[in-house]
Amino acid sequence: MWREAYRRCVDPEIFLSTTAIQTLMAEVASFDFGTDPPDLSVTLAEASSWRDGQGIAYDELTDTADRAGTSAALAHALFRQSGPLASTLGVWLQGMSAPGVFEDEVHLRILALFADDIGVGGPRSSRHDAFKGLATRYGRPELAVDGDELAADRTVRDHMFALPATLFAISRRCDAFAPLIAGIDVVLRSVGMLPAWGALRASDGAPAQWARLDLSVSTGATDIGAPLDVSREVAEKFGAGGEAVRLRVAAGAAWALDALRSWDGLLLDEARAALHPQRAMEQLIRERAREGAVYHQNFRLAGGETLSALLERAKTDPEPLLRELAATRMVKPGNAARSSLVNGLIGPKGPMFRVFSADDVEVISQWIDSLADSEPEPVPSPAARVPSAPDPGVLDLDAEDGVVPADVREAYFVLQGRVLAPATRDFAVRYVRRWLARAKRSLGRTDRSLPEHWTPAGLRPWLLDMHDKHGAEFETSRSGSMPTREQVVDETLQLAPLTLIDGSWLQGFTDAGLATTRYGFPLFETYWDELGNGDIEINHPKIYRDVLREMGIELAPTGSREFAYDDRFREESLERPVYWLCLGKLPRTFLPEILGMNLAMELSGVGGSYRTARGFLKHYGFSTHFVDLHNTIDNVSTGHSAWAADAIDTHLRAVSKGSTPAEFAAEWERVRIGYESLAPLPSSTIADRIGDRFLTTPWKPRSHGGSLFHHAPVGVS
């Protein structure tokens, strides 16, 4: 079913074949990808015209509901059935940021669009969260849930998940669908606010709260300006990449408009049904017929058929059952209050109590009351095509195996993108587990480790102690020997594969479902900072390249094969970067370890090695901008180090509420191991070396020493 496809596609680690996604796309829209699409400008003009026309249709519907006193029923129907699409606002962009394009200005603009959509800088601040708040205010708090929970709400029609499931699916394969995504984005931002929401906003006494649902208007979370203008700019930049790419952008736009029209037609049908008692009752019976048909084999109605048989037919045709039911003594046409169906059979003391929800009982009551009309209003026929439910195995169609890297250089190159095909994922999981096994042997072997036990007081006191320690170590090392210029240049070069993917261990937290959580939002904000908040001039990889150029070093683009195979890099300089690249693609599988590693990373140079590196760079006349920036942005009061500690504390407090002491201790140990994994100690005992032998499949990462800039806690040698 569509809701199952939606539920699966919400998973940030899912891999989907292009065939599977194309199958979903073909079901939800009639656009033919085999033909040349209309010009993008034509589609955008058509999108705006369609929005205005549909706005009139919804305004007329709300006027009808106002006159009939059914405004609440209409609002509830619109909120309920549009909930899945609300959960996708902006998510089609969530996979577009990846290490290989960290310095690409177009992708930085895309990241800025997405950051604005999810309300960077605060938990539960996304456009979807704004929808949840409105749904709660309108009396639908059950809709104020995340996507995985929303899929379980059976009052939402299965087909209303079709377009949302497909948008989530497309977001998982930005490698194959990036130009299409650019076209999809500009169409949806041209529409701005869905016509149904626009009609509800017009009748609301607090219209300002609706602004965040308008994709053409900034949420105020960034200084991006007008999102529609940025989206147009992105589409144009993609289109400038050649005729083939331009056509794919235009095709994505045409598909998006067709898909939105089809989805909105379904929503309009649902809204009309909610206002028509007979249609609403038919839908209710159709939904509940399968479970009801299991019972009532011995209960015969006046026509001679059993209730079970009529329910079986009602899966596709509920009218015969309703006709028979209306003729029974349980129903008093025009008077639901006196009908035993409502106040007896399904009432609090009846044999079918709780079989129907309060909303269901309201539908049944309105249907009974409507039966008094001598000339009932004609039942409106569904106007929109319901997309065929996907085959249960469609998401597993022709899954590409992916690449199994043969060495660390190939691994660095292959993992620059966002997607993990099955075989590549297996490699990444094995690599991380090997690395973590080494990190586990470092626990308790230095005074830099996280405390053995976590307490509800959190990590802030420990964080300040470590900062003091870094400062003291800096003071005692100030008289140390100055490395040669050649050593400084070589260390800077060897750190390039690591530093040019700064933040890559957090790329999984650009997933909308993680980026807005209480523990995830500071991780997304950290990632957003590392990439310069969408501004190439303060993009950390770009700043690092500027230092390299001062040293006379020019490197190929980070995502290129040429970069990974540059023989100026020693292989050991790529091993830890590969660990980061693997972690960033597995945010659920290795969540505790990422939280720990992130704290180690952000704390590693603050107060100590950044200041040491500044002295080295300044001595030889090189810019100190990179280390100065990190020493401030990673600070332990309001910077990345503090955010990292807070993210761990938030996660652990949540875990502590639903776990046994043993389970909680295991979670904390995983965080501690993640912290050690930034720079595991070298193997020192015979047992450790024997253990390392069994980790070698096909090759083993080597240990690392300290760093000129950062990335290794002070004291590691």
Average pLDDT over residues 382-405: 83
- The model's confidence at residue 389, banded by pLDDT at 50, 70 and 90, is confident
How much helix, strand and coil, in percent to the nearest 5, is found in the chain? 60, 0, 40
**Nearby residues of 437 by Cβ (< 8 Å), 6 or more positions away:** 691, 695
Give the pLDDT confidence of 478-510 residue by residue, as tens digits. 766 789 999 999 999 999 999 999 999 999 999
> What's the token pair of residue 524?
């997304």
Start-end of H helices in 634-705: 640-657, 661-676, 686-693
Q: What is the pLDDT of residue 498?
A: 96
Q: Which residues contact 325 (CB under 8 A, 6 or more apart)?
A: 301, 331, 341
Instruction: Round the average pLDDT of the chain to a whole number and report it.
Output: 89
pLDDT confidence of 265, banded at 50, 70, 90?
very high
Q: CB–CB of 334/368 below 8 Å?
A: yes
- For 625, the 3-state DSSP assignment is helix
| DSSP letter (8 states) at residue 376 | P
Q: In a 10 Å sphere around its CB, with 0-12 CB exposed, 13-18 middle and 19+ buried, how is residue 124 labelled?
A: middle
pLDDT at residue 469, as a whole number: 85
pLDDT band of 374, cuts 50, 70, 90: low
Q: CB–CB of 318/295 below 8 Å?
A: no
Closest CA to 675 of 468, 470, 459, 508: 459
The pair of structure tokens assigned to 656 is: 């502590």
CA distance 180 to 43: 14
pLDDT at 354: 80
Q: What is the mean pLDDT of residues 359-363?
A: 86
Confidence (pTM): 0.90
Reference 312, options 288, 338, 289, 280; nearest CA is 289
What local confidence, expressed as pLDDT, does residue 401 receive?
82
User: Is the pLDDT assigned to residue 435 strictly greater than 50?
Assistant: yes
| More confident of the two residues 186 and 370 | 186
pLDDT of 710 > 70? The answer is: no
End-to-end CA gap in the chain: 55
pLDDT given for residue 78 in this prediction: 95
pLDDT for the residue 20: 94
pLDDT 10s digits, 197-244:
999 998 887 677 899 999 999 999 999 999 999 999 999 999 999 999
Distances (CA, A) of 243 to 181, 230, 239, 251, 409: 17, 21, 7, 12, 33
pLDDT per residue as tens digits for the range 438-483: 999 999 888 889 999 999 999 999 999 888 887 887 777 776 678 9
Mean pLDDT check: name the lowest of 51-65, 327-341, 629-643.
629-643
Q: Peptide bond preceding 698: is omega within 30 degrees of 0, i.e. cis?
A: yes
> What mean pLDDT comes out for the span 377-403?
79
Residue 306: phi, psi to the nearest 5? -75, 155
pLDDT band (50, 70, 90) for residue 683: low
CA distance 52 to 29: 21
Q: In the predicted model, is pLDDT for residue 372 greater than 80? A: yes
Domains in the chain: boundaries: 2-7+27-32+51-89+126-272, 279-370, 408-693
Residues 6+ apart with CB under 8 A from 476: none
**242: Cα separation from own chain's centroid:** 30
Which whole number is the average pLDDT over 589-607? 92
CA–CA gap between residue 218 and residue 192 (Å, rounded): 11
CB-based contacts of 151, cutoff 8 Å, min separation 6: 3, 4, 6, 7, 10, 84, 161
Cβ(209)–Cβ(133) below 8 Å: yes
- In the structure, what pLDDT confidence band is assigned to residue 398 with cuts at 50, 70 and 90? low
Q: How many residues does the structure list for the chain? A: 717
Say how many CA atoms lie within 13 Å of 683 toward its Cβ. 16
Cα 276 to Cα 283, 320, 332, 336: the distances in Å are 11, 18, 19, 16
Q: Residue 402: which of 595, 129, 183, 175 has the closest Cα?
A: 175
Task: Reply yes or no on whether the pLDDT at 711 is more than 50.
Answer: no
Which pLDDT score is estimated for 400? Answer: 72
Q: Which pLDDT does position 695 carry in this prediction?
A: 37
In three-state secondary structure terms, 639 is coil
| Per-residue model confidence (pLDDT) at position 208 | 74
pLDDT bin (cut points 50, 70, 90) of residue 353 is confident
